[in-house]
Amino acid sequence: KCRTGPLDIVFVIDSSRSVRPFEFETMRRFMIDIIGNLDVGPNATRVGVIQYSSQVQNIFSLKTFFTRADMERAINSIIPLAQGTMTGLAIQYAMNVAFSTQEGARPLHKRIPRIAIIVTDGRPQDRVTEVATQARNAGIEIYAVGIQRADMNSLRAMASPPLEEHVFLVESFELIQQFGKQFQDKLCGVDMCVEQEHGCQHSCISIPGSFYCKCNPGYRLNMDGKTCSPIDACADGRHGCQHHCVSVRGSYSCRCRPGYYLSQNKRSCIMIDYCSFGNHSCQHECVSIPNGHYCRCRSGFTLQPDSKSCRATDLCNGVDHGCEFKCVSTEGSYHCVCPEGQQLQADGKTCSKCGSGHVDLVMVIDGSKSVRPQNFELVKQFVNRIVDLLEVSPHGTRVGLVQYSSRVRTEFPLNKYHSADEIKKAVMDVEYMEKGTMTGLALKHMVEHSFSELEGARPLSHNIPRIGLVFTDGRSQDDISEWARRAKESGIVMFAVGVGKAVEEELRAIASEPVEQHFSYSADFTTMTHLVENFSLNICPEEGKGETEIRSPCECEALVQFQTNTVAILQSLTEKNILWARSLAQMTARLEDLEKQIANKK
């Protein structure tokens, strides 16, 4: 048997139509006889077989079988292609596919000889010289075996040098089996590691006609091709050790600096948690460091000379607190306070005086079908004139808008826009909804969503008045009493404005106490100026009169200023648009009459 070292052998068999069936059987026997004398296996010699005619067919690759019995069964099942003779195409396939690592060939750096045995009986019908040269340059040793009619020039063009050792011409198929024994001797040769002084420091590997030296694991072959040196596995920088890499006979291990231990992945290092030992005696917090620990106090405390206990710090005296009026220290923190009657601003430091008129205002406008598009535009103008006189800003007045009909839609929440111009543009972009009048549903939406902190309402502790202003022109199609009551109980000052067919009973149910100061009604949109005349009344009576709920001075001034601005806007808007509004009212009346006539005809 051939025991001179592992080989990667691929048989390239001509199965063109010129090869008669009994001749092809002789070729099967030739391959089986050679394989029978090879030491085959995954770590020994690997064998593959391809056949060709006008096309190439892979019978089995170098990675398919590792026993002679399996290979013999596969060879016996070959069905000849019986077409042309494209030898060049077969060599191309062997080079690109059969001898690829994907198909089972060992990598070139392992120095396993790659041998192609081409068996043909005729002249190639394509070019072989160039592709055979490419295959030889790729490290494939080619044996060319010609039978009977084979062209000697083509065989010599395909084979590796020296040609006298790689080109064979057999007179007939009957003689190929006898030739197989001769070829076996050529393929295996003598064990060069035994026949001569090889000089290898570790191991000698014999290959046909030569040998090479191989080093033990953990060593690499030196430039002289014989001696070996230990491999420094840490030198290439790919070890992945977080701290230190220690090379050990071609391998490596990771080590950590003092104060750390190696993690389960054997590469990264974890600092030892000395605090977890439970003997640190720190009053507040223990902080681990390499080779030890130290104690740390929580914010607002100072570490004492014993390096373990903590004492509270008067932060008002130790930091630049920035409080406008007074700083109050608490355990580990501080906060600012303002004089009575003044409000702490959103920055948590400055105090505001009364008279700024800042409110959280949500206007809820009726967008039902009865309002009509032209009147809806008047309502939008009215809303924008209110916005013109407000100090809109994140820390000043915030404005939200809700429209309702059969459903409720938030046009924009309190925290959406931070300037009057942004709000006015958004108001003009509002689209008329039409359909029904679900005022109760709108009040529920306002209480649950519009005045939530999520949508921009300031916390009640900031004493910023919350105002709900409801415009409607007809009877609600749902109950309004429950959510009108909840709105007022939640601290929202409710104003009700009714136009046209609005129901006074519902308006009064919506309005805050005193009701006369919080609701107004007008027969049509042309007299909107008079809707909120009562808003100018003082809604913060003097203490002790018992007429209404006592409010803080700042909240009262804010409400009064909002009312004054609203009246001024209504007056100006109506004076400029009175003629246009009257024309629209007449047109509206005509449309209503027309609708009634149509309805009567139906």
Q: What is the CATH number of the domain that holds 319?
A: 2.10.25.10
Q: Which of 329, 354, 379 is the last residue of a domain?
A: 354
Query: Cα–Cα distance between 485 and 508 in angstroms, integer?
Result: 11
Q: Are residues 326 and 379 in the same domain?
A: no
Residue type, 217: P
Name beta bridge partners: 286. Answer: 295
Domain assignment present for 306: no
Listing DSSP states for 37-89 in one string gives: TB-BSTTSBEEEEEEESSSEEEEE-TTT--SHHHHHHHHHT-----S---HHH
Q: Are residues 166 and 29 in the same domain?
A: yes
Query: Cα–Cα distance between 175 and 36 in angstroms, integer?
Result: 18
Q: Which of 45-54, 153-162, 537-546 has the lowest mean pLDDT?
A: 537-546
Instruction: Specify the number of domains making up the chain.
Output: 3
Q: Are residues 319 and 433 in the same domain?
A: no
Helix, strand, coil percentages in the chain from 3-state DSSP, rounded to 5? 35, 25, 40
Q: Are residues 318 and 375 in the same domain?
A: no
Query: Cα–Cα distance between 286 and 501 in angstroms, integer?
Result: 73
Q: Are residues 370 and 336 in the same domain?
A: no
CA angle (200 as vertex; 194, 204 as ends), nearest 5: 50
Q: Which of 318, 319, 312, 259 is nearest to 284 (CA)?
A: 312
Crossing angle for the helix pair 420-428 and 373-388, nearest 10 degrees?
Answer: 180
List, in order, residues 6 or more apart from 426 with CB less than 8 Å away. Answer: 401, 411, 412, 416, 417
270-281 pLDDT tens trace? 998 889 888 888
Q: Which of 188, 211, 238 is the last residue of a domain?
A: 188
Helix or strand run (H / E) with residue 186: helix 176-188
- The arithmetic mean of pLDDT across residues 339-354, rounded, is 71
Average of per-residue pLDDT values in the chain: 82
- Say which residue the tokens 């100072």 belong to: 302
- Say which residue the tokens 């990675």 belong to: 63
CB-CB contact of 577 with 527 (8 Å): no
Q: Are residues 184 and 81 in the same domain?
A: yes
Query: Cα–Cα distance between 188 and 45 in angstroms, integer?
Result: 11
Domain of 13 in residue numbering reads as: 7-188
Listing DSSP states for 497-529 in one string gives: EEETT--HHHHHHHSPSSGGGTEEEESSGGGGG
Query: Cα–Cα distance between 594 and 597 in angstroms, integer?
Result: 5
pTM of the model: 0.38
Looking at residue 446, the DSSP 8-state letter turns out to be I
Q: Which of 75-89, 240-254, 526-540 has the lowest mean pLDDT?
A: 526-540
CB-CB contact of 273 with 288 (8 Å): yes
**Terminal-residue alpha carbon distance, the chain:** 110
Q: Are residues 383 and 409 in the same domain?
A: yes
Q: Are residues 340 and 485 in the same domain?
A: no
Domain assignment present for 575: no
- The arithmetic mean of pLDDT across residues 271-294, rounded, is 88
- The arithmetic mean of pLDDT across residues 20-45, rounded, is 86
Q: Which of 155, 188, 221 is the last residue of a domain?
A: 188
Task: Name the region of 106 (left: φ>0; alpha: ψ -120 to 50; beta: rest).
Answer: beta
Q: Are residues 325 and 381 in the same domain?
A: no
Query: The domain that contains 39 carries what CATH number?
Result: 3.40.50.410
Q: Are residues 23 and 159 in the same domain?
A: yes
Helix (H, G, I), strand (E, B), or coil: what is residue 422? helix
Neighbour tally for 218: CB within 10 Å? 14
10 Å CB burial of residue 312 (0-12, 13-18, 19+) is: middle
- The arithmetic mean of pLDDT across residues 257-268, rounded, is 90
Helices (H), 189-293: 192-195
CB-CB contact of 48 with 60 (8 Å): yes
- Say which residue the tokens 């223990």 belong to: 286
46-104 pLDDT tens trace? 999 999 999 999 999 999 999 999 999 999 999 999 999 999 999 999 999 999 999 99
